[in-house]
Amino acid sequence: MEQNTNYSDPQVFTKDQVGVLNGFVAKVFTWMFAALTITAVVSYLFGTEISLIRLLFNESGLSILGWLVMFAPVGLVLLMSLGYQKLSAGTMSVVFIVYSILMGASLGFIFLAYELGTIGLAFIITAGMFIIMAIAGYTTKVDLTKFGNILMFALIAIVIGSLVNIFLKNDTMDLVICIVGVLVFTGLIAYDMQRIKNNAAYAMANPEAGKKMAIFSALSLYLDFINLFLMLLRLLGRK
């Protein structure tokens, strides 16, 4: 689900390109933080307001809206990924905003399942790890693209393991999945950050493509942050 095309030497930036780089990265983080803010507000509302919680559940379990909220985000990510070339920047921005709203609604359960202090601690740790790894990915001289396939295979293994453990309900397996998940998403933050840096010159030289690339790059970092947060929350809330 990532746009892995590099248009410039990952370590060659002239003084003129520094401004271009900073401008593109600023756009990416603006979109990412806006989406995270929307998700955080919506998740809090859906996790604490009884009237909103009841919209997602009925006597037999999840309501139609509940199922939509649970599975629609996956469809929207696929839409942005598979339709990247055809969608306009405006359409992608709307889809990303809708996605962040639906993700917020689906994450409302964390306020029902975990204590507020645990949620806050997981968020603080996630934010700290994100900042450290983003800086590492931005400044490192090591080419991280060679680790991309390894991280993707590990991510697929996590997804498969999580699905299997839904039926097995094995506590040890869940612990292993969480630990591996933390390592994988921590690595993906640095990997995605370096990829964003590498694509900056092309993105800023091509306005329409640059807008779409900024949104899609923000989506990648957003997913890294959310998934790292959820893995840490599961670890901290195991008791």
On average, the pLDDT of the chain sits at 89
The per-residue pLDDT for 5 is 42
pLDDT bin (cut points 50, 70, 90) of residue 239 is low
Residues 43-70, mean pLDDT to the nearest whole number: 89
What percentage of the chain has pLDDT greater than the value 90?
A: 73
The per-residue pLDDT for 51 is 87
**Does residue 175 or residue 13 have the better pLDDT?**
175
pTM of the model: 0.89
The per-residue pLDDT for 18 is 64
pLDDT bin (cut points 50, 70, 90) of residue 19 is low
Residues 147 and 118: their CA atoms lie apart, in Å, by 32
Strands 57-58 and 61-62: antiparallel
The per-residue pLDDT for 6 is 43
State yes or no: pLDDT of 184 exceeds 70: yes
Residues 70-81, mean pLDDT to the nearest whole number: 93
- What tokens does 144 get? 């991280």
Residues 181-190, mean pLDDT to the nearest whole number: 97
**Does residue 201 or residue 34 have the better pLDDT?**
34
State yes or no: pLDDT of 12 exceeds 80: no
Residues 203-207, mean pLDDT to the nearest whole number: 77
The per-residue pLDDT for 9 is 44
pLDDT bin (cut points 50, 70, 90) of residue 53 is confident
The per-residue pLDDT for 22 is 82
Q: Convert the pLDDT of each residue in 114-156 to its tens digit.
A: 999 999 999 999 999 999 999 999 999 999 988 988 999 999 9
pLDDT bin (cut points 50, 70, 90) of residue 11 is very low
State yes or no: pLDDT of 108 exceeds 90: yes
State yes or no: pLDDT of 14 exceeds 80: no
Contact 132, 186 (CB under 8 A): no
Residues 169 and 156: their CA atoms lie apart, in Å, by 19
* CA 114 to centroid of chain Cα atoms: 21
Q: Convert the pLDDT of each residue in 152-171 to its tens digit.
A: 999 999 999 999 999 999 99
The per-residue pLDDT for 138 is 93
